[in-house]
Structure 1
Amino acid sequence: MKYWIALILIIGPLTSFSQERIKNVQIDPTVHARTFWMSTSYREDFRDDYALGASLAIGFKAKIYSKWTLQAAYRGFANVLSSDIWDLEPYSGRENRYETGLFNFLEPGQRTFGSLETLNLSYQTTSWKLSIGRMPINTAWINPADGRLAPTEMEGASVSFSPSKSWKISGWYINRFRVRGTNKFLNVGESIGVYGVGRDETGAPSSYFGNTESDFVSIVQVDYQKEKNHYTLSHTLADNLFSTFWGEWNYKFSKNTGGLNWLLGAQLGFQHGIGDGGNQEVSFRYKNPKDQNWVMSVSAGAEIGKWKNTFGFTQLGGKGRWLSPREWGKDAWYTFIPRERNEGVGQLTALTLLSEYQLGKGLGIYGHIGFHWLPELSDAPNNKYAFPSYRQINLGLKYKPDSMSKTDFHLLIMNKEALGSPDLTPSQRYNKVEMIHVNLMVNYRIN
């Protein structure tokens, strides 16, 4: 906390130059305050939990000689109020999964902590941008996953080149991550397993946390925008772990009558293990190097008036598990619904409907319903987290009032239930199904 205060004292005077040019330098303050209420309730048996967390990031953006930009921001976190989220749930004997994610997984029970989350230098021209340092990232398989008090951030370098209005070529080299729900930038291998590790292929608890050897992640991405078509091709390489190829096409076309817009999309992915999967010792490895998985996801929908409705379908198959660390972001496929992932499975069939309605300027509601069919609970090689097939419903409201242009509100209510009538043990139910989960987020941003 003392470092947070010291940085504020340093940055504070700089912000007084906001919007002022002094010798070819323009310095603007950056502020992001976020308050997050989270609660999880169960019908019976299990303990209900809640937490109120807050974070405040204060920093600056300095533009130097028009082409150079220096950014820095320090974020402080606080557990304002919570139930006994760090204690094991008595009936299941398991750790809390949701509310603890607001705070520091690396030092459980901390009431306050902080992190220098942004510190980067960028050079930008009309066609090039090069950045080095600590910064945000948003790609198909490494992204902010904005479901906590602060997003996941990377440390490394990024570059992009736009030879024309239609083409963009991008690349990232990552050597450390600040995983959301932590306060430190961890080496790539160290960042894997901060969240639950599930079970290995034999059904025993996984032991890869702290034993995964991976030095970097590299991403190459090509985007092409032509009229109403947007194509993306990318390759994500996690050193000594896996290689993921990804392709995506999105198309939007309009009818001249009735204000109707049709939406189409298709995704194809292929992933295989590389190296020794994180460790030469089989019991410590993260991924089986022999894994080979493919995935296909499609979407179709329409915008008409204030409504937007989209159907999604995903089919995953192959040999072994499709793995992408939960610490690095959310799923890329169209059937992703916030507050759950389908990572760690060898087969998946998912069907979703996403609906949005704009009630007025700055005010919208939405609903998501999804059916996700996973491998059998007993199939440890293909179901890492022993997760039952489930149905999920999300109801949400987003509001950004005109009178408070720097503030926005987001309410999310989620319910998950097991499909069919499976005979589930307490550990197969707790944190997974038979719950009502509530999130209320308030953001205040300057720049």
Structure 2
Amino acid sequence: MQYTKALATALLLLMAGCAAFGQEHPTREQADTVAIHSVQELFTKGKVEGHVRNYFMATWNHRDLTDNHANAIGAEIAYKTASYHGFRLGFAGLFTYNLFSSDMNRRDPLSGKLPRLELELFDLQDPENKADLDRLDELYLEYKTEWLHAKIGRFSFRSPLMNPQDGRMKPYAFQGVNVQVPLWQKGLLTFAWFDHFSPRSTVEWFPANETIGIFPSGVDTQGNLSAYAHHTSTKGVAVAGLRLHPGRRISAEAWNYWIDNISNNSYGRAVVEVAPQVKVGVEGLYQVQVGGGGNPESSRVYFPDQKQWLLGGMLAYAPENWHLSLDYLHIGGEGRFLFPREWGREQFFATLPRGRMEGTGDADLLVAKVRRQWSETLFSEAAVAKSWIPSPKDFQHNKYGAAAYWGWEADLNYRPATPTLHGLSFRLLYVGRASPGTEIPLKDMYYNTNFHNLNFITQVTF
């Protein structure tokens, strides 16, 4: 509510400014400012953008486990006013419909679980919801100059642990304040505070404390069902980030996420070109508890008293139009790598679609990737992954009952070159996973391992 009032006040002030100073001309320092002579022109000289998306997904699970499919169709429409002395207002809304699908409310008879991946196209909190799937994604006031970029309200935010991940129909969205300061064209300094979130695959906005536990919460370190949902106390998260590009051959970034009363998370990575077309990267994360980890009761704590860490590496060779890499991730055995899944998805060197490592400890992931830019309109990626994850019965290091697996991925993206089809794009994504030689009850394989997942996305961007 406070952000709505603030934005309404800002809009009135901006309109008043237009009326009072409408005859002024833009200055060189305000490169994106256009001549505004009335309140009407503030809006008529604005910009509309968005997309229309159709998403078909199907999953074939192992043996007698239920197979599922779904087709979602929807659109997002965003609008920005013209910039006036660096200020502008923006908003974006989206809607989704379940065009057809298997029964999203039907639980698999063996596992007792809902069709997780297909349901993520719609509303995780209401599997029967097929049409009331609209959401106000963005509503913000923005100020932008050559030396400062600030936003307040609801908007998209990108960082290694918190990001929109716009791969389904609804991305992760954030409410708060974000300030970015360019550093002499060689870096970017970011400060942000977020206290409300709208997780991917939901239609509502929630305070920070209510978001943690919307997604499946797994088990605690004793093997009992986690009880932190609706019992976690936090006011929000403060984010500080620094991206640097001091030279053509080196880039680095460092981030800190301080989650009130839960944890402090420090992440950094660096990538260096050690030879022509050869790059080496290293990354690391360190986590400690803050306050009571979300709740002083051990049975309801989200982040236990642990000092957890992870390390990752990347070796890449990138000749013309190709990118081949070997990526590795190791998660320490002091506990589990924990970060709210409702706020985004980790983006490490070894990250692959459908391949979160959050919730595990004493684990390793090795990935080989091959990317090819065939033309300006055709791009492909293929990957093979091998994970080493403690047994699902090792509750100390395995929150969600994940199984060690072999995984593979094929991703094909195509944009027609025909001018009349400009804006149209297609994506075909296939993800497979298997756990040969691993003894897992059939019911625990459901969307966990031994499955094939096919995605076909058609989108028009405007």
Scaled by the length of structure 2, the TM-score of the pair is 0.88
Aligned length: 421
Matched, 1:64 2:64: no
Give the structure 1 partner of residue 16 of structure 2: none
Q: Structure 2 CA distance, aligned partners of 1:34 and 1:171?
A: 32
Matched, 1:396 2:415: no
Give the structure 1 partner of residue 182 of structure 2: 162
Q: In the alignment, residue 164 of structure 1 is paired with which amino acid? A: W
Q: Structure 2 CA distance, aligned partners of 1:40 and 1:298?
A: 31
Give the structure 1 partner of residue 431 of structure 2: 414
Q: In the alignment, residue 303 of structure 1 is paired with which amino acid? A: A
Give the structure 2 partner of residue 366 of structure 1: 381
Whether the aligned pair in 2 keeps the contact of 1:353 and 1:368 (CA below 8 Å) is yes
Relative to its length, the structure with more strand (as a share) is: 1
Q: Structure 2 CA distance, aligned partners of 1:388 and 1:43?
A: 14
Q: Structure 1 CA distance, aligned partners of 2:146 and 2:200?
A: 33
Equivalent residue in structure 2 for 1:345, among 335, 352, 360:
360
Give the structure 2 partner of residue 131 of structure 1: 151
Equivalent residue in structure 1 for 2:341, among 326, 330, 333:
326
Q: Structure 1 CA distance, aligned partners of 2:250 and 2:362?
A: 30
Instruction: Tell me how far 1:147 sits from its aligned partner.
Output: 2.5
Whether the aligned pair in 2 keeps the contact of 1:55 and 1:150 (CA below 8 Å) is no
**Structure 1 alignment gaps of length 5 or more:** 1-18, 256-260
Partner SS, residue 331 of structure 1: coil
Give the structure 1 partner of residue 22 of structure 2: none
Instruction: Tell me how far 1:194 sits from its aligned partner.
Output: 1.5
Q: Structure 2 CA distance, aligned partners of 1:34 and 1:20?
A: 32
Whether the aligned pair in 1 keeps the contact of 2:62 and 2:445 (CA below 8 Å) is no
Matched, 1:313 2:333: no
Equivalent residue in structure 1 for 2:70, among 40, 46, 51:
51
Alignment RMSD? 1.7
Q: Deviations over 1:29-80 (max 9, x none)?
A: 1222121111100241111100001221123111232411211111111111
Q: Structure 2 CA distance, aligned partners of 1:124 and 1:145?
A: 24
Give the structure 1 partner of residue 163 of structure 2: 143
Q: Which moved more, 1:245-254 or 1:157-166?
A: 245-254
**Structure 2 alignment gaps of length 5 or more:** 1-32
Q: Structure 1 CA distance, aligned partners of 2:262 and 2:100?
A: 39
Partner SS, residue 332 of structure 2: strand
Q: Deviations over 1:338-374 (max 9, x none)?
A: 1120111121111100101122221012101111101
Give the structure 2 partner of residue 9 of structure 1: none
In the TM superposition, what are the counterparts of 1:26-425 in structure 2 within 5 Å?
A: 26-112=45-131, 113-227=133-247, 228-252=249-273, 255=276, 261-288=277-304, 290-403=305-418, 404-418=421-435, 420-425=436-441
Q: Deviations over 1:216-254 (max 9, x none)?
A: 111001111112211111101111111111111012366
Q: In the alignment, residue 151 of structure 2 is paired with which amino acid? A: S
Q: Deviations over 1:152-195 (max 9, x none)?
A: 01000000112311132111100111111011111112111221
Q: Which moved more, 1:24-33 or 1:212-221?
A: 24-33
Q: Structure 1 CA distance, aligned partners of 2:130 and 2:226?
A: 29
Q: Which moved more, 1:156-165 or 1:421-430?
A: 421-430
Whether the aligned pair in 1 keeps the contact of 2:36 and 2:84 (CA below 8 Å) is no
Q: Deviations over 1:389-444 (max 9, x none)?
A: 111100110112222332221110111011x4122113321111111101111222
Whether the aligned pair in 1 keeps the contact of 2:330 and 2:362 (CA below 8 Å) is yes
Q: Structure 2 CA distance, aligned partners of 1:73 and 1:167?
A: 29
Q: In the alignment, residue 119 of structure 1 is paired with which amino acid? A: L
Tell me: CA distance 1:239–1:349, structure 2 relative to 1, closer, same or farther (3 Å): same
Q: Structure 1 CA distance, aligned partners of 2:364 and 2:113?
A: 28
